[in-house]
Structure 1
Amino acid sequence: MAEKNITHYHMDKMVRYLFVFVFLISATVLGFHIKNSSGCNTVLFDTDAKDYAVGEAILFNDLTIDADKWQWSFGDNTSSFQKDPAHYFEKPGAYDVELIVNGSCVGMQTVEIKEAIKVLDSTKFPVFDIPESVRVGDVLKLKDETNNASTWEWRFGETPKIDDKNRTAEYVYTEPGLYTVKLIVNGDVEYMTKKKINVLEPLVKESIIEKRKKRRKNIKDWKVKEFPIGYTGKEDGEEEDEDITPKKITAPPITDKVFSRMIMQVSEGAKTAIDFKVYFCGDINKTVIVNRSTMSFAVFCQKIANRNIKIKSLEVDKQKGTNCIENVSLTYRRTIF
C-alpha cells in the first residue's frame, strides 16, 4: 500500500494576534457607524427673550429627545456647545440659528433682531417757555432754564442755521407762518427740545388819510371833495409806480415718506440733488443736519450716491405758505447690501 503524503500547516502566533486585532477594530468601526446611522429624532428648540433687540440676552432651550451632544451656530459667526446657551446679537437683522444634536441631527430657526430701544433721560432736555404767537417784526425773547447748561444752540425755524448761542435768545421773524423753535444745550443733539410758535401778520398802521376820515365822521357833510378831480398825489411829470412786488415762489407738497424714498433713490443712483430742486424752491444748497453734522443738501446727495444706506430717522420742516423745505434733520447708516 502506497504511503500517503500528509502536509501539516502551522500558523504563527503573531499572525493570529493580527487577525484578532483587525477583527476588533472592524467591529468597533461597524458599531460606531450603526449607532450614528440610526434615524434622528426631530431637533426642536425654542427661544426666550423680552424684546429680541440688539444687545439683549436671548436664552436658547433644546427640546430634542435623547440628545446628549449639542453644537449651536447663531448665524453671526459665533457658536456654543452648551445645551441651553444664552446669546446676544450686536446688529439688527434676521439670523438663521442652527442646532446640531448628537453630531448628525440638524434643526434650524430664524430669529428676527430689532434695533435696541434707547431710553432717554427726560431731565436732560432743555427747558424754556414760549408764547403761543408773536407778530412779524416784534422781538421774541426766550430764556433757557436748563440746569448745568454751558452752551446753547437756538434755531427759530426760518433758516436751518443757528440763530443764537446765548442762554437768553432774541429773534425777529420776517415772514408769518407756523415755525418750530429748537434748542440744543451742551452740544447733545439727542436731547433737543422743540416747540411750535405761530407768527402772525404785522399790525397795519393807519395812514394819515384814514385818521383824517375818522376825525371827520362827526363833521357835517358839505359835499366838498377831499381832493380835486384827477389828483393822484404825484408831482407833475412823476410817473406812477409800477407793481414791483416779486412773485411768490411755492413748492409742491411732499410727505416725509416720499422724501425718504427719493433719498434712497439717490443712494441707488436713480436720482440726484437736482430732482429735489422744486421742493427746496430752487435752493438745493440749504444746510441740513445729517448724523449730527451740518452740510449742504447737494453735498449730502453726492456723499450717499451709489452707496447702500438705511435711513433711521427723518424730519422735514417746511415754510408755511410757500411749502418750501427749510430744514432737514436725518440720521442714516451704511449697509453692506
Structure 2
Amino acid sequence: MAEKNITHYHMDKMVRYLFIFVFLISATVLGFHIKNSSGCSTVLFNTDAENYSVGEAIMFNDLTIDAEKWQWAFGDNTSSFQKNPAHYFEKPGAYDVELIVNGSCVGIQTVEIKEAVKVLDSTKFPVFDIPQSVRVGESLVLKDETNNASTWEWRFGETPRIDDNNRTATYVYKEPGLYTVKLIVNGDVEYMTKKKINVLEPKEKVSVLEKRKKRRKKVKDWGVKEFPEGYTDGKEDGTDKNEPPKPITAPAITTKNFERMLLQVSEGNKTALDFKRYFCGDITKSVVVNEKTMSFSVLCQKIANKNIKIKSLIIDKQKGTNCINNISLVYKRTLF
C-alpha cells in the first residue's frame, strides 16, 4: 500500500515539470514573435530622385525605426541586404520594390522606369552644303566638311543603295522630283545628316534653225487675210467634226524608272498624282501588293514616308494606249 502512494506522487511531479517546460518554451516563442512584429506598420523607405531612367543609379534609403536587418527585392530578380543600397534598372517598366525589415516587416513601393533619353553630340553630324535645285542630267558635286571623318556613305535618294564612298561625291539625277540626300560618316547611323534638293526637268534643246527664227524681224501685217470671211475648208477652228477623237495614250516609262518613282513616294517626295499620266488619269485602278489587292492611290498612302526596298515589280500595259492596267509589287520595309 505504501509503494502505490509513492508512485502516484512521483507521477504528479513529472506532470508539473512538463507543464513548466512547455510554458517556458511557449513564452520564449511568443516573445520572439512580439519582438519581430513590432513596428511593422512603420516600414518606410524613399529614393533620391523623382524621375527614373534606364541605366540611372537610384539610391534607396530605409526610414524604418528600430530596423536591424534589411532584405531588398527590386522586382527585376535582383536583391540586396544593405540598409541603403544603390540600384539601376536595365529595362523600362513599372517595378514593385519590396523591403523586408527584421525578417518579417514588409514595405512595398512602385517605381516607374522610363527609357533613357540619349543626348546626341551635335558636332558629330556630317556637314555639307547643297544647292536648292539641280537639273536632270547635270552633275551634282557635294563635299563633306566634317572634322575627323574617315569613311562616307552618300545616298542621293533615287535608289536605297549607297551612291558614293568618297569625301567629295558626284551624282547625276535621271528623273525630276524632290529628293533627300543623306550622309553618314564613320559608319555611325545615329549621326545622319539629311537635306532636300529639287531636281528640275532638263533644259529643252533649241535647234540652230529655231534660234534663227527667233532672231528674224517680225513681218509687218498688211491686213491681208489668207481666206475670205466664212471660209473654213470644211473645218471649224482647224478641227474636222467628222474626225473621230484620238484615244488617250500614256507616255512610255520603264519598269526601272517606275520603281524609282515608287521609292520617291516612300521618301515623301512624290504622290499618287505624279503617276496619273501613266494610268491615263485613273490612279484608283486595282493593283496587287504583297499578294493583297488595293487601289494604286491607297498603295501610295501606305508607303508614304516609309522607306522600302522593292523586291519585284511587274507592270501590265494596255496595247495601243500604253496605259497601265495593273501592277504586281512585292516590297519590304527598311531601316533607312
Instruction: Identify if the C-alpha distance between structure 1 residues 124 and 144 changes in structure 2 by more than 3 Å, giving closer, same or farther.
Output: same
Partners of 2:4 and 2:15 in 1: CA distance: 23
Partners of 2:266 and 2:179 in 1: CA distance: 18
| CA distances 1:170-219 after superposition (whole Å, capped 9, x unpaired) | 11122232221111122222222212222223333445675455333433
Instruction: Identify if the C-alpha distance between structure 1 residues 186 and 77 changes in structure 2 by more than 3 Å, giving closer, same or farther.
Output: same
User: Relative to total residues, which structure has the larger helix share, 1 or 2?
Assistant: 2
Q: SS of the counterpart of 1:199? A: strand
Counterpart residue identity of residue 79, structure 1:
S
Alignment partner, residue 251 of structure 2: 245
| CA distances 1:129-154 after superposition (whole Å, capped 9, x unpaired) | 21122122211001122333332211
Gaps of 5+ in 2: 227-232, 236-245, 269-288, 313-330
Q: Which moved more, 1:53-62 or 1:184-193?
A: 184-193
Offset of residue 24 of structure 1: 3.4
1:154 aligns with 2:154: yes
1:330 aligns with 2:335: yes
Q: Which moved more, 1:213-222 or 1:57-66?
A: 213-222
Residues 26-105 of structure 1 aligned to structure 2 (within 5 Å): 26-37=26-37, 40-49=40-49, 51-105=51-105
Q: SS of the counterpart of 1:196? A: strand
Offset of residue 46 of structure 1: 2.1
Alignment partner, residue 7 of structure 1: 5
RMSD (Å) for aligned C-alpha atoms: 4.6
Q: SS of the counterpart of 1:83? A: coil
Alignment partner, residue 322 of structure 2: none
Instruction: Identify if the C-alpha distance between structure 1 residues 4 and 140 changes in structure 2 by more than 3 Å, giving closer, same or farther.
Output: closer
Offset of residue 86 of structure 1: 1.1
CA contact (8 A) 1:133 1:199 kept: yes
Give the structure with higher Rg (CA): 2
Counterpart residue identity of residue 251, structure 2:
T
Partners of 1:276 and 1:50 in 2: CA distance: 52
Partners of 1:87 and 1:297 in 2: CA distance: 47
> Across the two proteins, how many residue pairs are aligned to each other?
267
Offset of residue 276 of structure 1: 10
Q: Percent identity?
A: 72
Instruction: Identify if the C-alpha distance between structure 1 residues 157 and 68 changes in structure 2 by more than 3 Å, giving closer, same or farther.
Output: same
| CA distances 1:208-258 after superposition (whole Å, capped 9, x unpaired) | 675455333433346698xxx99xxxxxxxxx9x9550488889x9999xx
Q: SS of the counterpart of 1:197? A: strand
Instruction: Identify if the C-alpha distance between structure 1 residues 110 and 209 changes in structure 2 by more than 3 Å, giving closer, same or farther.
Output: farther
Partners of 1:169 and 1:276 in 2: CA distance: 41
Counterpart residue identity of residue 144, structure 2:
D
Partners of 1:200 and 1:59 in 2: CA distance: 60
CA contact (8 A) 2:180 2:267 kept: no
Q: Which moved more, 1:163-172 or 1:37-46?
A: 37-46
Partners of 2:186 and 2:121 in 1: CA distance: 15
Counterpart residue identity of residue 330, structure 1:
L
Instruction: Identify if the C-alpha distance between structure 1 residues 139 and 298 changes in structure 2 by more than 3 Å, giving closer, same or farther.
Output: closer
Partners of 1:56 and 1:276 in 2: CA distance: 49
What TM-score do the two structures reach when normalised by structure 1?
0.62
Partners of 1:171 and 1:254 in 2: CA distance: 21
Partners of 2:57 and 2:199 in 1: CA distance: 50
Instruction: Identify if the C-alpha distance between structure 1 residues 298 and 75 changes in structure 2 by more than 3 Å, giving closer, same or farther.
Output: farther
Counterpart residue identity of residue 45, structure 1:
F
| CA distances 1:94-141 after superposition (whole Å, capped 9, x unpaired) | 211112233223222221212222233333322222112212221100
Partners of 1:254 and 1:147 in 2: CA distance: 32
Partners of 2:332 and 2:200 in 1: CA distance: 21
What TM-score do the two structures reach when normalised by structure 2?
0.62
Gaps of 5+ in 1: 231-239, 257-271, 290-295, 300-325, 332-337
| CA distances 1:68-96 after superposition (whole Å, capped 9, x unpaired) | 33221101101112222110011122211
CA contact (8 A) 2:39 2:65 kept: no
Q: SS of the counterpart of 2:53? A: coil
Q: Which moved more, 1:94-103 or 1:71-80?
A: 94-103
Offset of residue 57 of structure 1: 0.3
Alignment partner, residue 191 of structure 2: 191
Residues 1-337 of structure 1 aligned to structure 2 (within 5 Å): 7-8=5-6, 9-10=9-10, 22-37=22-37, 40-49=40-49, 51-206=51-206, 211-221=211-221, 243-246=249-252, 273-274=290-291, 296=309, 330=335
Q: Which moved more, 1:34-43 or 1:6-15?
A: 6-15
